[in-house]
Amino acid sequence: MAGVEDAVTCMICSEVYQAKTREPLVLPCGHTFCRSCLTNIYDTRYFTCPSCRENFSHRDLEDLPISFSLLSLSSNYIDFQQCSTCREHGGDLMYWCRGCQQPLCGLCLYQSHPQGHDVQLGKTCLKEKKHAVQEVIKTFHLALDENKKEIKKKVSSYISMIKLLCQRSNRLRDIETEVAALSKEVEGAYNIENILFSEAKIKSVLSKQMPMLSGNDESEIDINAEEKAAREGKADADIGQQQTSPGSKQVVDKRIARLSCQDGKLLLRSFTSCNDTCLSLKFPSEVFLEFSAGNQCVGRVYIQLWCHLRRAQHFQALCLGTFGASYVGASLIVSSYNHERETLDVRKYILPDGSASNKVLMTDLEWGGRFEGPANEGIVMGSYYGVGTHGFGICTRCQPNGTFQCPFGEVLSGMEVVRAVISHEPISEVTITDCGLVIPELVP
């Protein structure tokens, strides 16, 4: 256990890490020390790592991330230390009784433990148990690998089906065009010969296309037909876009993005003004944030973004990590606690190297004027902490007649999670542990 003891012990005070008083804080250089020691040596003018002497002046200790994995390991280590000594005799629990399934010290073995039981050295039993557990884990890994392969296979199958459905949607559009032309021919017929000719054409179309109209033509949709449709630039589906403005007015962007099947691949095309909507997909403008306190997940919050605003686009990019940085690992702050306009704030995002920043990643972010909106509960708005800075807040208490300088979204579900986070003590324990985009569903 010597290696474990070194890992869970602060190099300055040689004390084991513990929650609250001696939490392990990770410096940007990667070295870890307990909160108590760093607080004692902290100097905003000249603060360096006690190990490598890298300078971190003006860095706030409250912004340093807690190593929850080390905290958990130290807790287990303390528990182990407490239970590795016999409570009755005070000796080391060096033996293990297979019959009683209990650890024993030397005095237990000769004084109070029944004779005739199968007693082995603890190290021997540990080795056997470890091997048995590893075999079980190996079986689990094999089963997991098989399941992952099956899932990948199904996903691939579903993507192929989407391609075929795009092709079928295109063919239905062609049939609709052909039937519309025949309908005009019938309306313009001026003698019996014309009617008979149109009737023959309609019967021909029906006999040719009825299998697909009845949904029984799956066997006819093959790779060659798919490639032919791809070469012709067909098999398109439409993605509609609709946003909500800060003033709770519906703002509809009539552009669509075409989903095309070409060269056997699904292509998402640029936005156009085409109104052909055989198949459609809601514009992906919903994101999620997952909050956790230590190793315990508090819950997820789902947010509808108003993506016509650059602040919403900036927020979405940080949820996805588009620029490399993301909200994963970001800490939280409560503003105006238990008062009007109470908000759960995130003032910084996390860079790939583990450091925190609040610098804007996009220019011309909206602020004030026509971008103002009501300070309603559930509104997600931009925050200002200086020129070129970025942050956001989720409003939990409405302020009548109050306004935010630039709301850019609203919580669809999960306000109870936001309230639980705000009431958590201490709030510094809660971080964003996951975030991303909610994939929209395909609709007819």
Q: Is the pLDDT of residue 157 over 60?
A: yes
CA dihedral sign of residues 308, 312, 318, 320: negative
> pTM to 2 decimals?
0.54
- pLDDT (mean) for 281-292: 84
Is residue 291 within 8 Å of residue 416, measured between CB atoms?
Answer: no
Query: Are 292 and 231 spatial neighbours (Cβ–Cβ below 8 Å)?
Result: no
Q: How far is CA 349 from CA 317, 360, 384, in A?
A: 11, 10, 14
Domain residue ranges in the chain = 2-83, 157-229, 236-281, 286-443
207, with CB counted inside 10 A (0-12, 13-18, 19+), is exposed
Q: Are 316 and 305 in contact (CB under 8 A)?
A: yes
Is 315 or 387 the better-scoring residue by pLDDT? 315
Res 304 pLDDT > 90: yes
Assign 410 a pLDDT band (cuts: 50, 70, 90). very high
Q: How many CB atoms lie within 10 A of CB 375?
A: 20
Measured CA angle at 29 (ends 25, 32), to 5 deg: 30
Q: Is the pLDDT of residue 378 over 50?
A: yes
| Per-residue pLDDT tens over the stretch 9-49 | 998 998 889 887 889 999 988 899 998 998 888 876 778 88
pLDDT of residue 224: 43
CATH 2.40.100.10 fits domain 286-443:
yes
pLDDT at 442 over 80: no
Work out the pLDDT band at 241, boundaries 50, 70, 90: very low
Short-list 70, 33, 68, CA closest to 52: 33
What whole-number distance in Å separates Cα of residue 44 and Cα of residue 384? 23
CA distance 109 to 111: 6
Mean pLDDT of 333-350: 89
Q: Using CB atoms within 10 Å of the CB of residue 80, give its burial: 0 to 12 exposed, 13 to 18 middle, 19+ buried.
A: exposed
Confidence of residue 412 (pLDDT cuts 50, 70, 90): very high
Residue 346 has pLDDT above 90, yes or no: yes
Domain boundaries 2-83, corresponding CATH code:
3.30.40.10
**Residues paired with 129 in a beta bridge:** none
Model confidence at 407: pLDDT above 60? yes
Residues 91-137 have pLDDT tens digits of: 777 788 887 878 888 778 777 787 878 888 877 877 887 788 888 88
User: Could you tell me whether strands 102-104 and 95-97 are parallel, antiparallel, or unpaired per DSSP bridges?
Assistant: antiparallel
Mean predicted confidence (pLDDT) in 251-266: 60
pLDDT-derived band at 375 (thresholds 50, 70, 90) equals very high
